[in-house]
Amino acid sequence: MSAGTLHLNANNQGLRPVDLRRDLSGIASLMELCFGDMLDYTGRYAVREMEFLSRTGPLLWLLGSVAPNWRLGFVWVENGNVVGNVSTQVSEFDRRTWLAANVAVHPDHRRRGIAAALTEAAIRLAAENGATCVLLQVHQHNTGALDLYRALGFHVVTTRTTWERSSRVETQGIPLPGVEVRPARRDEWEAEFELVKELRPAGFNWLRPLRKTDWRPSFWRSLANFFTGNSVSHWLAVDESAGKLAGAFIIETGFGVVDQVALVVRPEWCGRLERPLLATALRRLAHRPWTVRIDHPASDEPAEAALKEFGFRSTQTLVWMRKDLS
């Protein structure tokens, strides 16, 4: 049976849009079953939140009545149970970009085309609402899912490993002769953007494309960060002999449970600059009690060595994939 023939039958079994009032508990259980060991803090929090909402009765009914189903995704139902799910969402950074997430099928119902049907439904929904592309993530070793998404027209954008460090051990600075590591000046934003564009064209976050406007200093962005408690700090590593940027790192903090760091290093400085940049970033975060997270390109051996030295551990490696819609 092909994916194109799978649909909701007269007994309300098969593919249909998510109905929060009926499906939330089943979706939470399915996510826990399929992704439990791989969920990060954000994922675990989302599951707990769904489980809580599923028990709120009238509140859930009200939420289900006002929430537009077309934004929630699809489920696959068998004998009244949710056995498959895909979440859909418009990217907050680009209304023409849609996200497909949490594609999950109960182990007892796999190899029947359900995952393909769910993903195709998400693609159709995005196209019908004016999307120009669909993004998703998949674990590097999930070869079955990778093959499925390639067959559906997705291509690999990049592969990133997530590293986390919970230790609050004081980190000593590591000087590197010939390189000055310092905060970026306001007039250096364009040079920093060009460096990141050259070395990390996919950007730092799968949800957020690399856009020049996000790097230009903005009074309104600074004001918004002030009121929300968020902070973004840009640091540069300047090759003093060549008078150009050798690397950079960015620190994003807030009131959450994770501080985010992203770094880039020019190829000619690989193996020498990662440790000084990481040491400086960790010293800047030493007073904060939260976990430090870095999403970094997979198979970057110099960076991996430095991350392990400073107490980071890898938690997952995800492949970012994209499908362009005609």
5-39 pLDDT, tens digit each: 456 555 567 999 988 778 888 888 888 888 766 65
Please report the pLDDT score of residue 144 as a whole number.
93
Please report the pLDDT score of residue 3 as a whole number.
42
| Least confident piece of the model among 66-75, 83-92, 128-137, 293-302 | 66-75
Rounded Cα distance, 100 and 87, in Å: 6
Q: Do the Cβ atoms of 19 and 78 come closer than 8 Å?
A: no
Chain-centre distance of CA 246, in angstroms? Answer: 26
Helix (H) or strand (E) holding 34: helix 20-35
Residues 6+ apart with CB under 8 A from 200: 210, 262, 264, 297
Mean pLDDT of 45-72: 49
Helix (H) or strand (E) holding 50: helix 41-53
pLDDT, averaged across the chain: 86
Confidence of residue 40 (pLDDT cuts 50, 70, 90): low
CA 172 to each of CA 66, 119, 136: distance values in angstroms, whole numbers, following the listed order: 53, 48, 38
Cα angle 115-121-122, degrees, rounded to a multiple of 5: 90
Please report the pLDDT score of residue 322 as a whole number.
96
pTM (2 d.p.): 0.84
Please report the pLDDT score of residue 12 as a whole number.
64
Mean pLDDT of 223-228: 82
Helix (H, G, I), strand (E, B) or coil at 265: strand
pLDDT exceeding 70 applies to what percent of the chain?
85
Q: Do the Cβ atoms of 100 and 87 come closer than 8 Å?
A: yes
Q: Would the pLDDT of 293 be above 70? A: yes
Please report the pLDDT score of residue 46 as a whole number.
53
In tens, the pLDDT along 110-145 reads 999 999 999 999 999 999 999 999 999 999 999 999
**pLDDT: which is higher, 161 or 52:** 161
DSSP states along 99-147: EEEEEEE-GGG-SSSHHHHHHHHHHHHHHHTT-SEEEEEEETT-HHHHH
> Which tokens belong to 4?
């194109």
Confidence of residue 209 (pLDDT cuts 50, 70, 90): confident
Beta strands in the chain (DSSP E): 14-17, 74-78, 81-90, 97-105, 133-139, 155-165, 179-183, 231-239, 244-253, 258-265, 291-297, 313-324
| Helix 20-35 vs helix 58-66: crossing angle, to nearest 10 | 100
Residues β-bridged to residue 293: 164, 260
